[in-house]
């Protein structure tokens, strides 16, 4: 099986890592979007519509109280005008409550609370608000006060409690969704950190460690140790580097062996030459001694010849004298 090159392996790993991080990012973004959607629906739509409906009812009741005051002091036309404003204010809460109900909710408990809000609003509207508006439309203040002193307060309290309960539920759901979003963010950061650590480990395993081994090996070669070997690193770029270093080491080892052999031959030759020089010196000394003996003999022979010549001359002289 052909082994991937280092560049191809690292590129494939980084691609897979990028895809994994991208997938995790998409998952985290989708979860965050769902959390934001839930928060927007429960707070931006449901809770906002509910609070707006409650505020409109409070304004309708305030206008109704103002209309009663004007009727009581004889300002009947102005009282009728304010009554129409109060009746118009009653229509808006119904629209907001319909928007609240149509938005739905995210849990069964939320649906129960939403049903309680709708039921208490219906009772509040039919048993309290509309009869009160009818009494104002007829300008029957006594009937208005009878309703006000009757069950209107309990109906309003029941509706307000249902609104408060749903508000608390919305706050809890919002807190849970925000906590989930924070958890998803933290998890994403942890996964990214793990991916970075894995990248560093893979780089250290695939690149840094083999390079460090090659550097240590070169330092050993530089120190003169040619006995160490590099571990196999495959057929990738680092494997080729290790193979080149091994061939360089073999070449250096062969060169060192040749130098050692040449040095040994030179040592042997030097010793033989030294021995020859000693022998030559001995022979030279012997030749010198022989030459000295020959010179001495020659001197003796010369003296003898001279003596013989002298004797011959004397004999010749004696012979002439006779």
Q: What would the two tokens of residue 4 be?
A: 């991937």
Question: For each of the chain's 322 residues, which pLDDT tens digit applies?
Answer: 445 555 666 667 677 777 777 777 777 777 767 777 777 777 767 778 878 888 888 888 888 888 888 888 888 888 888 888 888 888 887 788 788 777 777 678 888 888 888 898 889 888 888 888 888 888 888 888 888 888 888 888 898 898 888 888 888 888 888 888 788 778 878 878 887 787 777 766 766 666 677 677 677 777 776 676 766 656 666 666 666 766 776 777 777 777 777 778 887 877 777 777 777 777 777 777 777 777 777 778 777 777 777 777 777 677 777 6
As a whole number of angstroms, the distance between CA 148 and CA 29 comes to: 53
Exposure b/e, 111-120, CB count within 10 A at least 16 = b: eebbebbeeb
Residue the block writes with tokens 């995790």: 24
Question: C-alpha distances in angstroms, 154 versus 54, 150, 160?
Answer: 15, 8, 10
Q: What would the two tokens of residue 283 be?
A: 């022979």
Residue the block writes with tokens 């009746």: 87
Residues in CB range of 78: below 8 A, 6 or more apart? 70
Cβ-count burial of 307 within 10 angstroms (0-12 exposed, 13-18 middle, 19+ buried)? exposed
Number of H helices, E strands in the chain: 9, 0
Q: What is the pTM of this model?
A: 0.54
């Amino acid at each position: 099986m052909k082994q991937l090159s280092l560049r191809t392996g690292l590129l494939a790993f980084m691609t897979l890592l990028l895809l994994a991080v991208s997938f995790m990012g998409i998952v985290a973004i989708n979860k965050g979007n769902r959390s934001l959607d839930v928060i927007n629906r429960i707070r931006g739509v449901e809770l906002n519509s509910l609070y707006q409906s409650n505020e409109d009812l409070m304004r309708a009741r305030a206008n109704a109280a103002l209309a009663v005051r004007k009727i009581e002091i004889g300002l009947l036309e102005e009282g009728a005008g304010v009554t129409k404003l109060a009746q118009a204010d009653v229509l808006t809460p119904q629209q907001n409550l319909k928007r609240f109900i149509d938005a739905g909710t995210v849990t069964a408990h939320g649906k129960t609370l939403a049903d309680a809000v709708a039921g208490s609003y219906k009772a509040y509207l039919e048993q309290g608000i509309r009869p009160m508006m009818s009494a104002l439309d007829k300008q029957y203040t006594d009937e208005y006060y009878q309703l006000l002193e009757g069950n209107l307060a309990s109906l309003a309290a029941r509706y307000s409690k249902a609104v408060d309960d749903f508000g608390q539920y919305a706050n809890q759901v919002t807190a849970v969704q925000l906590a989930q979003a924070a958890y998803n963010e933290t998890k994403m950061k942890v996964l990214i950190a793990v991916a970075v650590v894995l990248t560093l480990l893979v780089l250290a395993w695939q690149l840094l460690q083999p390079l460090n081994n090659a550097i240590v090996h070169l330092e050993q070669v530089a120190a003169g140790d040619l006995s160490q070997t590099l571990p196999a690193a495959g057929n990738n770029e680092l494997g080729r580097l290790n193979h080149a270093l091994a061939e360089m080491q073999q070449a250096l080892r062969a060169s060192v062996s040749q130098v050692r052999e040449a040095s040994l031959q030179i040592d042997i030759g030097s010793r033989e030459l030294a021995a020859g020089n000693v022998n030559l010196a001995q022979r030279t000394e012997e030749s010198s001694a022989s030459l000295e003996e020959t010179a001495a003999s020659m001197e003796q022979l010369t003296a003898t010849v001279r003596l013989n010549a002298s004797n011959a001359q004397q004999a010749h002289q004696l012979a002439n004298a006779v």
